[in-house]
Structure 1
Amino acid sequence: MEPHFARVQALTTNGHSNWVHSKRLIPFWGTAIGPPKIKLTSRSRSMRVELFAPQTPFRWKNGSWITLNKVYIDLEYQIDITGNPVDHRPESCRATSTTISIQDLKPRTTYCMHAQIQTPLFHKISEYSREGCATTFDDVE
């Protein structure tokens, strides 16, 4: 984790500015992380929540993008339920898995959720994702 420095100079047709030097930057420590994407799939009394870490600007040798969960090994997701009140349930949960199931929900009820990424080791917290909403199904008898 080497520190990086930059210097910048503006050039115009009339000349150039003085060099300006940046502060020390260690990219692994000094960069912000983006929010996850969230996908909700309804069930009768539960909701499947899929979380997708954002891509980094780096690619694998095959050309596919490297996602954040391949760079930070300690990603945690904070999922907040922001829709209709949830009876007898916490209004948020934590997960290290990218797929979770939230159980014991009311049938025919719309639940909205959003999530953020946290990296405890590096003390980074993303913005919240866009809110996703889905309605649970009728009970099947």
Structure 2
Amino acid sequence: MMPKHCFLGFLISFFLTGVAGTQSTHESLKPQRVQFQSRNFHNILQWQPGRALTGNSSVYFVQYKIMFSCSMKSSHQKPSGCWQHISCNFPGCRTLAKYGQRQWKNKEDCWGTQELSCDLTSETSDIQEPYYGRVRAASAGSYSEWSMTPRFTPWWETKIDPPVMNITQVNGSLLVILHAPNLPYRYQKEKNVSIEDYYELLYRVFIINNSLEKEQKVYEGAHRAVEIEALTPHSSYCVVAEIYQPMLDRRSQRSEERCVEIP
């Protein structure tokens, strides 16, 4: 017959092994590299499967939340909780703003999805507010812990596409018309919203003389109509453009080359 102290030790060991095994399973299911990818304010939450997951045998659940300004308070009162200093734009004004967290909300279209991404563009449309997203996985009746993104603010982090170019030949010169990318939002009258509505943009235009294999920047500024003059007759030129955001010191990728023959 097993002594009482040995039996008790066996039970404790069995219990701890079971708990450790469950924790290990949950950890191995946990989604990896959960992050937002944002282009022209199309904000997509992406992730990779946990270490124990292969194929499409698992499903995922997505939630999101926004951090928001919840109230104002005089700076003469003692701050507590989530109070944070902010500045005002008139003399003698010193205030504290209180920031709070809304509850996590389910993304219904991505609740029980087998995909490794989820479109949260509509849910993150207040582009100057910070957001978080999180994902958990389920497989064979087991659920992982939540895996959360870093803080994501669309205005700071979205990447913008290069401008669209239209080129017309005018008496030996080139007239380049530039268009900034449209965004996924619309005004009330169904007019497209441009990236220009949110940032100061500078357009950079470059011309390449194919015979000399030489590139030259011919314009940098805010105008979207650029005339390129003094071109050599019977020559071939290519034009490319990019967008520069001075406030963020960031530039877009270059547009595709548009090439023309000068008669």
1:78 paired with 2:212, answer no
Structure number with the higher helix fraction is: 2
The count of aligned residue pairs is: 134
Tell me by how many angstroms 1:68 deviates.
1.1
What are the equivalent positions in structure 2 for 1:39-78 lying under 5 Å apart? Answer: 39-72=166-199, 74-78=200-204
Distance 2:221 2:228 in 1: 11
**Retained in 1: the 8 A contact 2:132–2:152?**
yes
Partner of 1:5: helix, strand, or coil? strand
Partner of 2:231: helix, strand, or coil? coil
Q: Structure 2: where are the runs of 5+ without partners?
A: 1-127
Q: Structure 1: where are the runs of 5+ without partners?
A: none
Q: TM-score, normalised by structure 2?
A: 0.47
Cα shift readout 1:112-135 (whole Å, capped 9, x = no counterpart): 011110010122210000111122
Distance 2:206 2:227 in 1: 13
Cα shift readout 1:30-71 (whole Å, capped 9, x = no counterpart): 111111111111123311011111111211112232111222
Distance 1:65 1:23 in 2: 30
4+ long deviations beyond 4 Å: none
Partner of 2:190: helix, strand, or coil? coil
Aligned to 1:129: 255
One-letter amino acid matched to 1:57 = P
| % same residue | 29
1:112 paired with 2:230, answer no
One-letter amino acid matched to 1:2 = E
Structure number with the higher strand fraction is: 2
**Retained in 2: the 8 A contact 1:44–1:107?**
no
Using CA pairs under 8 Å that are at least 6 residues apart, name the structure with larger relative contact order, 1 or 2: 1
Tell me by how many angstroms 1:82 deviates.
2.3
Q: TM-score, normalised by structure 1?
A: 0.83
Rg: which structure is higher?
2
* RMSD (CA atoms): 2.1
Distance 1:61 1:71 in 2: 17
Partner of 2:241: helix, strand, or coil? strand
CA change 1:4–1:136 in 2 (3 A) is same
One-letter amino acid matched to 2:251 = I
